[in-house]
Amino acid sequence: MHHEELTRSMEQRQRTQKRGESSFNVEKSRLDFPMLRRSVHGKQLVYLDNAATTQKPTQVLDRMDRFYREEYATVRRGVYGLSQEATEYCHETRKRCQTFLNASSADEIIFTKGTTEAINLLATSYGEKFLHEKDEVLVATTEHHSNIVPWQRLCEKKRAQLRVIPVNDQGEILLEEFKKLLNAQTKIVSVAHVSNALGIIHPIEEITKLAHRAGAVVVIDGAQAAAHLPIDVQRIDCDFYAFSGHKTFGPTGIGVLYGKQKWLESMDPYQGGGDMISSVTFEKITYAPPPAKFEAGTPAIAEIIGLGAALEYLEQFSFDALHAHEQRLLQAATEAIASSGKIKIIGNGQTKVGIISFVMEGIHPHDIGTILDQEGVAVRAGHHCAQPTMDRFGIPATTRISFALYNTFDDVEKLLEGMNQVKKVFGI
């Protein structure tokens, strides 16, 4: 696509965007994110690495700063006012997470360090208790390592088998093949809601239904979905769902594991320590009920409060409007990249969030990422902690761009200008 054509195309899409997003003003939202105002290598930052982590709005930064400056105290059992207030702030976030996921009870919300810890918790607390020799765990080919390695380790320990659900050439789960894999030995099915490397939205409701018919529990890795799609765990009917705060405009070091009450009550604790017990003697331990049973020690109090502020920030927008905005960016970038010579997009599924992975003939993704960085454009280059995905498509790595609510068509245009610079450097 020639630059003049690209410019006209972008201007048309910008006009369409302004007509179609009365409930979401991207330029207004950008003012909430101070990082978007900085420069990199003398160029205005274009941040397109949102699948790795999102930037933080002032509302989150100010809330955490206020807690540390004016409200700080530890939580649980404190008889003084500051401690009781901090405890209540954390409870408010738990309730907000319940609403965000449409869980049936706040007691089904466990705070973790993030999605990775949540899946490790499940592999330990659920898997070690309920998985037995010759049982099977199913994951998809395109999982993040965090949704592979804990299950591999569990299967090795329990002498169970890890089996892999194949995907087609577009990166979509092959449901017919999934059905063939299900059997009486299938005990756990753990899949991503959205592929982190490709952006494909998987049919998790259908997967859950099929898995339940086979008698398996279902774990959903929602790390890439939570900032982009409405989530209703009761409608999905999954047994567990996890997401990370730092990918939903909140702080690092905090995440959420949702679990059906019946499973949380029957599972063993993940860690031992303070506040996860009802009573302790040298002869016997009685555990506290969920969620306390899985939250040993002093929690990440400021981060929990920051997560609450991030979810409150998201609540002001319609997910339909956010999704429509990101889909316009996805379509514009996909068309422009696909029409450019020597570039191949990996993962062209019918339903995607705003993630594009691509390879460029003769140029390593790390070189592409380095040149784009010099142009002020931040992208991710590598295997994206999804080496089996790369193996499936016969490539070592991709360049990945990923959108969030604050990205614009100008960002897409600057990306494409940066790609022209890549071609210039390599003489293409």
Which positions are catalytic? 385
Do 332 and 409 contact (CB within 8 A), yes or no?
yes
Residue 169 one-letter amino acid:
D
Alpha carbon distance 382, 380 (integer Å): 7
Alpha carbon distance 406, 17 (integer Å): 13
Residues 6+ apart with CB under 8 A from 147: 119, 139, 190, 191, 192, 219, 221
Output Rg (C-alpha) for the chain, integer angstroms: 22
Beta bridge partner(s), residue 39: 44
CA distance to 87, 269, 334, 341, 385, per residue, from 364 (Å): 50, 45, 20, 16, 17
Q: What is the dihedral of CA 335, 338, 340, 344, to 10 degrees?
A: 160
Helices (H), 286-358: 301-315, 319-338
Residues 6+ apart with CB under 8 A from 249: 54, 55, 56, 57, 60, 227, 310, 313, 314, 404
Residue with tokens 């017919």: 176
Q: Nearest 5 degrees, angle CA 264-CA 266-CA 268? A: 85
Alpha carbon distance 426, 360 (integer Å): 11
- How many residues are there in the chain? 428
Name the burial class of residue 223, with classes exposed (0-12), middle (13-18) and buried (19+) by CB atoms within 10 angstroms of its CB: buried
